[in-house]
Amino acid sequence: MVEGGDTVASTAPAIAWGGGSAAGRGSAVSDELADFGEFVQASLPGLLRYGHALTGNPHDAADLVQSVLEKIGSRWAHVQRKTADPLAYVRRAMANAHISRWRRLKRETLVAELPEQRTPEPVDPFEHEPLWQALRELPPRQRAVIVLRYYEGLSEAEIATSLGVSAGTVKSQASKAIATLRTKIGSVSGGRDEW
């Protein structure tokens, strides 16, 4: 297991934690955390990617993944008892954390203040993707619904359960989101959206 993380970005050193035979096998807690370490190592790239879809930028994705995983890891045994699919559990937690965080921060838009820039910044790889830009501007709950639907492939009912809202809410949020996206990409690409 020490070198186990083949699916993980190759630059990341194997988490020494995962070394199953390592010393400190003593307590249940360290077992639990070792197990969690393996889970993190294996799931991190996927979760960061998912966070990127959810938040619209890599930095917020990293923030989100870290804060959610730390919380979940601190009660890992409990989470494992509670769910057979911890990865899905983490993704739902991320969606919810993202929504509530936005609600608390009351941020109007992700790109509210972008005066010109001197220092080189990592370029948004989707800078020229109207659809991505339009997604970024969606309110967080609408965006989450879209991500759960089209990234995760969840059904309407599953989304409702995940987010703890009614199916009706999911439906209305989805149709609002779709309508907005249609308008935005229609206008960005210059063509008229026939409907």
Smallest gap from residue 175 Cβ to another protein (A): 5
Q: Does 12 bind another protein (CB under 8 A)?
A: yes
SS (H, E, C) the chain: CCCCCCCCCCCCCCCHHHCCCCCCCCCHHHHHHHHHHHHHHHHHHHHHHHHHHHHCCHHHHHHHHHHHHHHHHCCHHHHHHHCCCHHHHHHHHHHHHHHHHHHHHCCCCCCCCCCCCCCCCCCCCCCCCHHHHHHHCCCHHHHHHHHHHHCCCCCHHHHHHHHCCCHHHHHHHHHHHHHHHHHHHHHHCCCCCCC
Could you give the count of Cα atoms lying within 13 Å of 166 in the half-sphere of its Cβ? 3
89 binds another protein (CB under 8 A): no
- Check residue 129 for interaction with another protein (CB under 8 A): yes
Q: Fill in the amino acid letter for 122.
A: P
Is 79 one of the binding residues for another protein (CB under 8 A)? Answer: no
Closest separation between CB of residue 48 and another protein, Å?
4
Q: Measured from the CB of residue 192, what is the shortest distance to another protein in angstroms?
A: 15
- The residue within the footprint of another protein, chosen from 26, 113, 190, 194 (CB under 8 A), is 113
Q: Which of residues 37-76 bind another protein (CB under 8 A)?
A: 37, 40-41, 44-45, 48-49, 51-53, 58-63, 65-67, 69-76
Q: How far apart are CA 113 and CA 97, in angstroms?
A: 24
Residue 93 in contact with another protein, rule: CB under 8 A: no
Give 84 or 123: the residue with its C-beta nearer to another protein: 123
Query: In whole angstroms, how close is the CB of 121 to another protein at the nearest point?
Result: 5
* Residue 84 engages another protein in binding (rule: CB under 8 A): no
Taking the complex as a whole, the smallest distance from the CB of residue 162 to another protein amounts, in Å, to 14
Closest distance to another protein from the beta carbon of 97 (Å) = 8
Using CB under 8 A as the binding criterion, the count of chain residues that bind another protein stands at 77
